[in-house]
Chain A
Amino acid sequence: MRKMVAAFVTAVVCTLGALMVPAASSMAEEAQSAVEQGKAIAFDRKGGNCLACHMIATGDLPGNIGPPLVAMAQRFPDKAKLRAQIWDATAINPHSAMPPFGKNRILTEEQIDLVTEFIYVQ
Chain B
Amino acid sequence: MKRMVTVFLGAALVAGLAWATPEDDRQAFVEYFQNRFPDVAVADYINGVYAIDPGAYEQWVQIEEFAPYELAIAEGKELFETPFANGKTYADCFPNGGIGIRQNYPYFDTATGQVKTLELEINECREKNGEKPLGYKKGPIASISAYMAFTSRGQVLDVKIPDDPRAMAAYEHGKEFYYSKRGQLNFSCADCHVSNSGMMIRADRLSPALGHPTHFPVYRSKWNDMGTLHRRFDGCNKQVRAVPLKAQGEEYRDLEYFVTYMSNGLVINGPGARK
Q: Which residues of A contact B (CB under 8 A)?
A: 49, 51-53, 61-65, 90, 95, 97, 99-100, 104-106
Quote the shortest CB–CB distance from B153 to chain A (angstroms).
34
Docked complex Cα distance between A106 and B185 (Å): 8
Contacts A63-B203, A99-B184, A105-B184 aside, 15 further interface pairs with beta carbons under 8 A come to A52-B202, A53-B201, A62-B200, A62-B202, A63-B199, A63-B201, A64-B200, A65-B196, A90-B186, A97-B192, A97-B195, A100-B186, A104-B186, A106-B184, A106-B185
Query: Is A99 in contact with B186, judged by CB distance below 8 angstroms?
Result: yes
Kindly report which residue of chain B lies nearest to residue A49, judged by CB atoms.
B202
Give 12 CB contacts A-B under 8 Å: A49-B202, A51-B202, A53-B201, A62-B200, A63-B199, A63-B204, A64-B199, A64-B200, A65-B201, A97-B191, A105-B184, A106-B185
Quote the shortest CB–CB distance from A53 to chain B (angstroms).
7
Docked complex Cα distance between A100 and B203 (Å): 22
Q: Per-residue CB proximity of B227-264 to A under 8 Å, as 1/0?
A: 00000000000000000000000000000000000000
Chain B contacts of A97 at CB under 8 A? 187, 191-192, 195-196
Query: Which chain B residues (84-115) contact chain A, with CB distance < 8 Å?
Result: none
Q: Per-residue CB proximity of B179-190 to A under 8 Å, as 1/0?
A: 000001111000
Chain A contacts of B191 at CB under 8 A? 97
Quote the shortest CB–CB distance from A86 to chain B (angstroms).
14
Interface-centre pick from B184, B191, B204 (highest chain A CB count, 10 A): B184
Q: What number of B residues sit within 8 Å (CB to CB) of A?
A: 14
Quote the shortest CB–CB distance from A61 to chain B (angstroms).
4
Quote the shortest CB–CB distance from B183 to chain A (angstroms).
9
Interface-centre pick from B187, B195, B196 (highest chain A CB count, 10 A): B196
Query: Is B202 in contact with A61, judged by CB distance below 8 angstroms?
Result: yes
Chain B contacts of A61 at CB under 8 A? 202-203
Chain B contacts of A52 at CB under 8 A? 201-202
Query: Which chain B residues (159-214) contact chain A, with CB distance < 8 Å?
Result: 184-187, 191-192, 195-196, 199-204
Q: Which of B184, B186, B200, B203 sits near A65, CB closer than 8 Å?
A: B200
Interface-centre pick from B187, B191, B195, B201 (highest chain A CB count, 10 A): B201
